[in-house]
Structure 1
Amino acid sequence: MTPIDLLIEARWIIPVEPADTTLEHHAVAIKDERIVAVLPIGEARTRFDAAETVPLPDHILIPGLVNLHCHAAMTLMRGLADDLPLMRWLQEAIWPTEARHASHAFVRDGSLLAAAEMLQGGITTCNDMYFFPEATAEAFDRLGLRATLGITVLDFPCQYATDADDFLRKGLAARDAWRDHPLIGFALAPHAPYTVSDKTFERVGALAAELEIPIHIHLHETAGEIADSLRDFGQRPITRLEALGLLGPNLIGVHAVHLAPEDIDRLALHQCAVAHCPTSNMKLASGTAPITRLVHRGLSVGLGTDGAASNNRLDLFREMRQASLLAKLDSGDASALPAHRALRMATLDGARALGLDGQIGSLVAGKSADITAVRIDEPDAFPCYHPVSHLLHVLDRRCVSDVWVGGQQRLKRGKLLQITNTELLGIARLWQNKLRQ
């Protein structure tokens, strides 16, 4: 028998690869943080000698979920301002609060709360965009969350940096400090076309090519953004980015709500990725992204929660469900974005957008053991004919029982292993009192 570190046995496994596959009474064998095999339980027991076996007879195993767009630290502003359109929400509530309170401690503590929420909801990878990325790295490292952290860039001063050069200098220093960490990577994150100049975009594009890292940007989120770009630059934002050389397979356009046919053509031509944030788009009344058209054109479309200040949950189970239902409503086609495809968006497609699909996003031999276990043992979840349908339309994040990142368990029977609820509640109450003042 072959010695391994861990054998996880489950009622069902949905590996994402091969597509449209559900395996019954199978197990995942893990050694040295990687998946060795996915095979029937009986065969696994005779083939492997596991140091630890975890039987999950009433569970579905899926790849760890990938949150393709988040502002983790904004969890401290959850519910601070609701029922406002994007620009009023930013100008009247978010930016003034950040000007008073954003700091290394604010970002570290907000990111701890976010990381805990994400892990408890089955999210094992987060693509984040915020200030003080070194503070986010500290929080995610403590809880063991895999992450790509944005080197945020703006062309105006804020509490973190004075100008675009300062943003880049500080962000690149954070990348250098964390460059050897096995779970932490970095992206360049120019905030949006309406906050970044052509000169800065050109520098971002050159740096992304030199460092071979993604570009993470809010793009075509509102109709107002398009109108302002036509007024100020004489072209739509995607056309402007194409002219500046930023469109490419490493670009992740967040929201991508207001897309004309020529915009979709450009995104497809350059093989860009899109981070779809359906709940945030609805809550801010930004609009409905044309996801079925993007998928049909072959773009990698992942799912993001956005920040808890505009969602107000970091919950990819809800995003999968919302994405599927919105696609059906928008297209008039009940078969649009079926359950297997929505799960792929929340896993493999998000990983591909980050350039991590060789490491994570599906349960196949050779990949990192980023795994989420979902309970299906309550009467309100039965009968169950199609487990993947249940993931979307019946179960929710409260059903997540166990989570592994790189083969290391982070959540066990619903309890985080790296931090207590007492500490998390203390952090939340401390900052709530500060923000109230």
Structure 2
Amino acid sequence: MTAPQTVDLLIEARWVIPVEPHGTVLDAHAVAVDDDRIVAILPIAEARRRFEPRERAELTEHALIPGLVNAHVHNPMALMRGLADDVPFAVWLQERIWPAEARVMGPEFVRDGIELAIAEMIRGGTTCCNENYFFPDVQAATYRRHGFRARVGLPVIEFPTAWARSRDEYFDKALAVHDDLRDDALIGTAFAPHAPYTVSDESFERIHLLSDQLDLPVHLHLHETAGEISDSLRDHGMRPFARIKQIGLVNERLIAVHMTQLTDAEIAECATRGVSIVHNVESNMKLLSGFCPAEKIRRAGVNLALGTDGCASNNDLDLFGEMRSVALVGKLIANDAAALDAASVLRAATYGSARAMGWSERIGTIEVGKQADLAAVRLDAIETQPVYNVISQLVYAAGRHQVSDVWIAGVRKLRDRVLGGFDLVELLERTRRWRDRIATA
């Protein structure tokens, strides 16, 4: 008789939701993890015969899912949660957010905001994010210190900030950060030009050249509001999408965020050229930016990803809430109760977001050989009983407060709702100090 194989971890779950194949639910299955990777997925009884784990997690009332992937965040802005609510987009951005950022932005603000966000994300089952903010060097150091997976944006914008004073400085610093992170196991980079209305053609052309040379994604706010379209027609004689297409940026590396203003031809172009679209439904509703036609996009074959946006416009990093909103609003926009079904929405929040970030070979599904980024959701509460369809229950009934356990690259970050690696009392004290400083500035 063959001796059991020693592995680091065996997670036994009532249900395993691998996401791929689409809509699959594995009853009473286990996931074996060694080092940072998944080495087997098999029925619990067979797993107990085959493996001798150093640690066993018995999740008898839980669904085990891939860690959720938040494909668009501004996580330092967790410190601005609720700062500028109930105002139009232009007022929110130009009169509230940008002036506040100008007063407080710096390395400490970025570090503390990201730490607050990481704690929130892990407690909500999110194990990876696509970051878009300033001081990417500080971002990377903070994510790395907490063992959290992230792509940090290399910002480009046409006005001076605390991070860089000129176009050349933005690019010089971007390349230096990218070089520093080139071989990092958890942290990657992407170019993050803010938006077509704040970035020049010259900067976009440089980004296109460097993106091709370095094989880096381009993380861009695009077609966020109707005003953005009309202003571009006035200033450039074309829609923003056509402008960046003319430069060469409409390709498989483009992560197009928001996309609330789309023609059928633009959707078809995204499908043909391999663009990923990140849907941020709650932020878009709150700022009245418009509605991304998510079901039409999905049916056209465009990769659909999900993001929360930043806490200054959402006001949380809750992908469970986002999934529910995406499904419900998507049905309304499509005028089809079958649109954006639960399995497709969960796929967008996992595999779709990982694919948008260029990391679908590493994460986003529960498959042998992939990194063990996993989240367990306990479903035996009154609010999620009885269970008929576990994927539907995750999207329509469960909440982030039911996430019990989280692993990133095989390392446990949340154990039975207890967060490891944080001094929460001290973190909250720093958060209160930022609130006082921002409120009185």
TM-score by length of 1: 0.99
Write the distance in 1 (CA, Å) between the matches of 2:60 and 2:294: 36
What residue in structure 2 maps to residue 193 of structure 1?
196
Write the distance in 1 (CA, Å) between the matches of 2:130 and 2:44: 34
What residue in structure 2 maps to residue 374 of structure 1?
377
Write the distance in 1 (CA, Å) between the matches of 2:246 and 2:381: 54
What residue in structure 2 maps to residue 175 of structure 1?
178
Task: Indicate conservation of the 8 Å contact 2:196/2:240, yes or no.
Answer: yes
What secondary structure, in the 3-state scheme, does the structure 2 residue paired with 1:285 have?
Answer: coil
Identity of aligned residues (%): 50
Write the distance in 1 (CA, Å) between the matches of 2:272 and 2:62: 41
Write the distance in 1 (CA, Å) between the matches of 2:326 and 2:100: 30
| Deviation string, structure 1 residues 52-100 (Cα, Å, up to 9, x no partner) | 1110101110000000000000011100001112111011110000111
What secondary structure, in the 3-state scheme, does the structure 2 residue paired with 1:83 have?
Answer: coil
What secondary structure, in the 3-state scheme, does the structure 2 residue paired with 1:341 have?
Answer: helix
What secondary structure, in the 3-state scheme, does the structure 1 residue paired with 2:132 have?
Answer: strand
| Deviation string, structure 1 residues 88-137 (Cα, Å, up to 9, x no partner) | 10111100001110001100110110111111100001000000011111
Aligned equivalent of 1:77, options 47, 69, 80: 80
What residue in structure 1 maps to residue 129 of structure 2?
126
Say which is worse superposed, 266-275 or 109-118, in terms of deviation: 266-275
Q: What is the deviation of 1:404?
A: 0.3
Write the distance in 1 (CA, Å) between the matches of 2:303 and 2:383: 34
Aligned equivalent of 1:109, options 104, 112, 134: 112
Task: Indicate conservation of the 8 Å contact 1:115/1:139, yes or no.
Answer: no
What residue in structure 2 maps to residue 428 of structure 1?
431
Alignment of 1:388-407 (within 5 A): 388-407=391-410
Aligned equivalent of 1:66, options 69, 74, 85: 69
Write the distance in 2 (CA, Å) between the matches of 1:73 and 1:385: 39
Write the distance in 1 (CA, Å) between the matches of 2:212 and 2:435: 41
What residue in structure 2 maps to residue 233 of structure 1?
236
Task: Indicate conservation of the 8 Å contact 1:360/1:370, yes or no.
Answer: yes
Write the distance in 1 (CA, Å) between the matches of 2:197 and 2:242: 14
Pair 1:100-2:103 in alignment: yes
Aligned equivalent of 1:214, options 212, 217, 221: 217
Deviant stretches of 4+, over 3 Å: none
What secondary structure, in the 3-state scheme, does the structure 2 residue paired with 1:347 have?
Answer: helix
Task: Indicate conservation of the 8 Å contact 2:383/2:398, yes or no.
Answer: no
Task: Indicate conservation of the 8 Å contact 2:296/2:334, yes or no.
Answer: no
Write the distance in 2 (CA, Å) between the matches of 1:380 and 1:292: 28
Task: Indicate conservation of the 8 Å contact 2:205/2:247, yes or no.
Answer: yes
Aligned equivalent of 2:12, options 6, 9, 12: 9
Aligned equivalent of 2:319, options 316, 320, 326: 316
- Which amino acid counterpart does residue 296 of structure 2 have in structure 1? R
Question: Any unmatched runs of 5+ in structure 2?
Answer: none
Write the distance in 2 (CA, Å) between the matches of 1:233 and 1:162: 25
Write the distance in 1 (CA, Å) between the matches of 2:40 and 2:95: 53
Task: Indicate conservation of the 8 Å contact 2:15/2:63, yes or no.
Answer: yes
What residue in structure 1 maps to residue 51 of structure 2?
48
Write the distance in 1 (CA, Å) between the matches of 2:199 and 2:189: 19
Number of residue pairs aligned between Structure 1 and Structure 2:
437
Write the distance in 2 (CA, Å) between the matches of 1:67 and 1:94: 22
Q: What is the deviation of 1:176?
A: 2.0
What residue in structure 2 maps to residue 344 of structure 1?
347
Q: What is the deviation of 1:265?
A: 2.3
Question: Any unmatched runs of 5+ in structure 1?
Answer: none
- What is the Cα-based RMSD across aligned positions, in Å? 0.9
Write the distance in 2 (CA, Å) between the matches of 1:17 and 1:266: 26
Write the distance in 1 (CA, Å) between the matches of 2:366 and 2:96: 42
Task: Indicate conservation of the 8 Å contact 1:250/1:272, yes or no.
Answer: yes
Q: What is the deviation of 1:381?
A: 1.6
- Which amino acid counterpart does residue 215 of structure 1 have in structure 2? V
Q: What is the deviation of 1:270?
A: 1.2
